[in-house]
Amino acid sequence: MTRAEKILAAHAGLKEVHPGQFIEVAVDVVLANDITAPIAIREFERLGVEQVFDRDRVILVPDHFTPNKDIQSAEQCKMVRDFARRQNLTHYFEVGRMGIEHVLLPEQGLVLPGDVVVGADSHTCTYGALGAFATGMGSTDIAVAMATGKIWMKVPETIRFVYHGRLQKWVGGKDLILHTIGLIGVDGALYQAMEFSGEAVDDLSMDGRFTMANMAVEAGAKAGLFAFDEKTRAYVEPRAQRAYTAYQSDAPPLSPPKSGGHYAQVIEINVSELEPQVAFPHLPSNVWPLSQVGEIPIDQAVIGSCTNGRLEDLQVAAQVLRGRKVHPHVRCIVIPGSQAIYLEAVRQGLVETFIEAGAVVSTPTCGPCLGGYMGVLAAGERCVSTTNRNFRGRMGHLPPTATSGVVWATRRARCIWPTRRWRRRRQY
């Protein structure tokens, strides 16, 4: 079996599982934030269940609109806060000791190798960097997981990605995953597990691995997993708050054939000549190497998010900015991923470098990544960002042609998700 299949089999109490099989899975961690938790809480209360299945395993992190940006966001966070207190949850992270959820949980040792983690946030797949099966789910599913400690799901197929060669300077995990998404498309791994391997991946730091796993969902994947190795062990051991079991795939150490066996597909990529990658609007798959980007005026730069708000990201940014000044026409916003990262950035002098360069440093928050606050764009503005999505209207102004909402096409109809109601328009 693959790593994903072994983890799911163990949590389903089965000797083995196979792709396409429907199983009931016990979960190790259930996660929600200030956007998704209120919906889950309402559904949880509708179930008539008094207590969550395990107060140590349900984790709530208000991170999208905190510190609260307006009354509505304050009400959202209050609802989450009150529920955490009623349930006496062990792990509730408030302003002052919080962080962006997918940075905070690994840092605190709350997600571990071999875990099954479900979160009401699509980038829950970040924890695959630790060798966990982690996936995002809807808030209603999360409500059931909070009540029962179980989910049901279909076992995904696995695509194995093998990255050969050594990375050049300035090329890291973000470039690997953007290049991969550019190759296979935003649906190239739809409802499949992506398994990352090869010497280039082995050389990546844990921060680089978190970035890659985080963006597996941008290729449509159910999860993105790395092997448990000595780097993983060195990261996990000082942090782990409980015992864990690491699982390895039955794959041979060398690249298997392009298809067959227990992989749906094996994709081999030589990254020795890979340049830094840039994803242009409006999809993460619209990827170009830096040498082909040209000179494009920008209004804003954002350094942060659950994808690239870790210490290594801030160190690289400080290396670029040290001794230089942010252009007077550009707003540069730096957002550490957690309080611990913020504090270490202060100790290392990184914050001083940012401020001297003319950047602003924010408290840990998701901020402008989802068009929340701390850097929302006006009409016609351009932003270069380390976040994970560049969808139309994601970080700010929604062009007039798309004011009705998110649009997608089917063979016979165009479905539009407007603000208040569903509409269906036939195409002739």
pLDDT, tens digit, 9 for 90 and up, residues 144-166:
999 999 999 999 999 999 999 99
* Helical (H) or strand (E) element with 408: strand 406-409
Average pLDDT over residues 207-224: 96
Residue 62 has pLDDT above 90, yes or no: yes
Residues 6+ apart with CB under 8 A from 203: 166, 167
pTM for this predicted structure: 0.88
In 71-221, DSSP assigns E strands to 91-92, 116-119, 133-136, 150-154, 157-164, 192-197
Work out the percent of the chain whose per-residue pLDDT is above 90. 77
Segment among 53-62, 85-94, 314-323, 379-388 with least mean pLDDT: 379-388
pLDDT, tens digit, 9 for 90 and up, residues 8-18:
999 999 999 99
Q: Locate 86 and state its tokens.
A: 């009623």
Taking the CB of residue 97, how many other CB atoms lie within 10 A of it?
Answer: 13
Q: Is 209 exposed, middle or buried (0-12, 13-18, 19+ CB in 10 A)?
A: buried
The full length of the chain comes to 428
Let me know: does 103 contact 337? Beta carbons within 8 Å: yes
> What was the pLDDT predicted at 392?
79
Going by pLDDT thresholds of 50, 70 and 90, the confidence category of residue 252 is: low
Going by pLDDT thresholds of 50, 70 and 90, the confidence category of residue 394 is: confident
Let me know: does 15 contact 9? Beta carbons within 8 Å: yes
Residue 414 has pLDDT above 70, yes or no: no
Residue 422 has pLDDT above 60, yes or no: no
Sign of CA dihedral 397, 401, 406, 409: negative
Indicate the DSSP class of residue 291.
G
Indicate the DSSP class of residue 198.
S
Q: Which ranges constitute the DSSP H helices of 171-310?
A: 173-184, 199-202, 206-214, 230-236, 305-308
Q: Locate 402 and state its tokens.
A: 């798309």
Residue 368 has pLDDT above 80, yes or no: yes
Q: Is 165 exposed, middle or buried (0-12, 13-18, 19+ CB in 10 A)?
A: middle
Most confident of 218-232, 395-409, 410-424: 218-232
**Cα gap 411→427, rounded to integer Å:** 9
Let me know: does 93 contact 64? Beta carbons within 8 Å: no
Amino acid identity of 370? L
Indicate the DSSP class of residue 402.
G
Residue 301 has φ and ψ, to the nearest 5°, of -130, 130
**Cα gap 158→172, rounded to integer Å:** 23
> What was the pLDDT predicted at 421?
32
Whether the link from the prior residue into 282 is cis, omega within 30° of 0, is yes
Q: Locate 220 and state its tokens.
A: 């449509």
Let me know: does 167 contact 150? Beta carbons within 8 Å: no
Work out the percent of the chain whose per-residue pLDDT is above 70. 90
Average pLDDT over residues 19-45: 96
Indicate the DSSP class of residue 89.
-
Let me know: does 396 contact 381? Beta carbons within 8 Å: yes
Going by pLDDT thresholds of 50, 70 and 90, the confidence category of residue 187 is: very high
Q: What are the Cα distances from residue 151, in Å, to 146, 191, 412?
A: 10, 16, 33
In 127-239, DSSP assigns E strands to 133-136, 150-154, 157-164, 192-197, 223-226
Whether the link from the prior residue into 400 is cis, omega within 30° of 0, is no
Strand partners, 406: 417
Segment among 31-45, 75-89, 396-410 with least mean pLDDT: 396-410
Nearest to 53 by CA among 127, 147, 122, 144: 147
Taking the CB of residue 397, how many other CB atoms lie within 10 A of it?
Answer: 14
pLDDT, tens digit, 9 for 90 and up, residues 255-271:
444 544 589 999 999 99
Q: Locate 20 and state its tokens.
A: 């396409």
Angle at the Cα of 327 from the Cα atoms of 323 and 332, rounded to 5 degrees = 85
Q: Is 164 exposed, middle or buried (0-12, 13-18, 19+ CB in 10 A)?
A: middle
> What was the pLDDT predicted at 131?
96
Taking the CB of residue 181, how many other CB atoms lie within 10 A of it?
Answer: 25
Domains of the chain (ranges; CATH) run 3-270 (3.30.499.10), 295-397 (3.30.499.10)
Question: In what side-by-side order are the strands of the sheet with 192-197?
Answer: 223-226, 192-197, 157-164, 265-270
